[in-house]
Amino acid sequence: MPEDGVSPGVRTPATRDRRAALWLAAVALGAAVLLAGCGRARDTVESVAERRPFTVPSASMEPTIKRDQRIWARPLTGAVERGMIVLSSSAKYPGELHVRRVVGLPGEVLFSRKGAVYVAGEALDEPYLAPGTYTSAFGPLRLGADQYFLMGDARENSNDSRRQGPVPRSAITMVVETR
């Protein structure tokens, strides 16, 4: 017989209270974990449900994305980050979405010299470019508080921010999912 004088399996008010307290604690912990995970689960389900396929009609993003390649994109709801591949609209080409890479962020000063892009006077590391890619000269250009500089990876085949100017955040509508 245990020290408390009660045989195992015998329910006393004290053991019932202890079990009830443990059960309530387990249920509360489970509910907290479930609620904490629901936001992420909902975001995942929604982002999968909102994914859309696109076929890229040009070579402006080669070698990363080939001409006529099918890509998947989802709505961009968070921050825009350098290096992201995004879809944006353009006032110059209404109804069209353009696939470009984010190169410059709000408030930054960009320019290109001798084939390289510089941000705040430092050469930008662009490992996604094909060897020997040359970026035509532009700038210097200071981006406004809500402006982004978008460029294609195939710099010689891309009608991007070098020609069309910076893009406002409101025009950046989707982010390409990594393959």
Sorted by sequence, the CB contacts under 8 Å of residue 51 that are 6+ apart come out as 72, 73, 74, 177
More confident residue, 24 or 92: 92
**63 band by pLDDT with thresholds 50, 70 and 90:** very high
> Model confidence at 5, in pLDDT bands (50, 70, 90)?
low
Between 88 and 29, the more confident residue is 88
Q: What is the dihedral of CA 121, 101, 156, 171, to 10 degrees?
A: -100
Place of tokens 């998947």: 72
Percent of the chain with pLDDT over 70: 74
The pLDDT value given to residue 100: 96
Contact (Cβ atoms closer than 8 angstroms) between residue 149 and residue 104: yes
Which of 168, 178, 176, 179 shows the shortest CA–CA distance to 87? 176
Model confidence at 107: pLDDT above 80 = yes
Cα–Cα distance measured from residue 50 to residue 48, given in angstroms and rounded to the nearest whole number? 5
